[in-house]
A = this chain, B = another copy of it.
């Protein structure tokens, strides 16, 4: 809405549900070119962008895909003067960010930052000024940048909690340390999945998410029994999205390593009984 007007175009990478929503809404404003998509294999991998559009204003991607359990390992590279736009809602601050590569990052708070109802936006100074002027003032990035995010009464509670989370991140050793822990947590689960015969990871090896780990037994009844078993052990929310089925372990920054270890123990027990 700020950067795409009739006669202008932008490149989009389609890696699932949230990318599709971004593409559909952007099409209301200008020309959208889907320059890469993993829809051919039900979004189980992160595709490589190709044939970028020379006139594209920006390249948009969704860094982590909660439903399909995939995550970009490296940022895609936009072409020419285009800048990189990222929906980082589900993996922001899961590891260090090379901020110099981005024009705009937006991230809903509810996964890694704080309570729902706040969106963190990191935007390049020149882009703040380049945004559309013929849209409502509340929807212009410049309005919020020029008013220190206090043009309206901001969602104070959410911002306060985000501040506490940022301090916690720093106290833990910052994003370097958080990234190391997330790698370790994810490895605990993926290593087990790679050697087990009952549970299979659904995301392709080079595209696996640190935040959402999706896996199946291949038998929906057995999946349902596992989810029930895990729930009795205090491990809830493991049911996968209906478009993937099976299980999904969401292990955001706040999820403790001990929880991942417990999940693997419960999986081992279950595999022994039902394998």
Which positions in A face B, CB cutoff 8 Å? Answer: 1, 24-25, 28, 108, 110, 115-118, 134-138, 152-158
Contacts and interface: CB of A to CB of B under 8 A. Distances in A.
Contacts of A134: 28
Contacts of A117: 117-118, 154-158
Which of A110, A152, A155 is most buried by chain B, counting CB atoms within 10 A of its CB?
A: A155
Which of A135, A136, A137, A154 is most buried by chain B, counting CB atoms within 10 A of its CB?
A: A136
Copies per complex of this chain? 2
Contacts of A24: 137
A116 B154 CA distance: 6
Contacts of A158: 117, 155, 157
Closest 8 CB pairs of A and B: A117-B155, A116-B153, A117-B117, A115-B157, A25-B136, A110-B153, A116-B156, A116-B155
What does DSSP make chain A's interface, helix, strand, loop or mixed?
A: loop
A29 to B, nearest CB: 9
A69 to B, nearest CB: 19
Nearest to A154: B116
A154 B155 CA distance: 12
Nearest to A25: B136
A98 to B, nearest CB: 28
Nearest to A1: B136
Nearest to A24: B137
Nearest to A118: B117
Contacts of A116: 153-157
A191 to B, nearest CB: 31
A176 to B, nearest CB: 29
Contact of A25 (B28, B108, B137, B156): B137
Contacts of A1: 136
Contacts of A115: 155-157
A270 to B, nearest CB: 31
Contacts of A155: 115-117, 155, 158
Contacts of A110: 153
A4 to B, nearest CB: 12
19 contacts: A24-B137, A25-B137, A28-B134, A28-B135, A28-B136, A110-B153, A115-B155, A115-B156, A115-B157, A116-B154, A116-B155, A116-B156, A117-B117, A117-B118, A117-B154, A117-B156, A117-B157, A117-B158, A155-B158
Given A28-B135, A115-B155, A117-B118, 6 more contacts: A25-B136, A108-B153, A115-B156, A116-B154, A116-B155, A116-B156
Nearest to A158: B117
A196 to B, nearest CB: 33
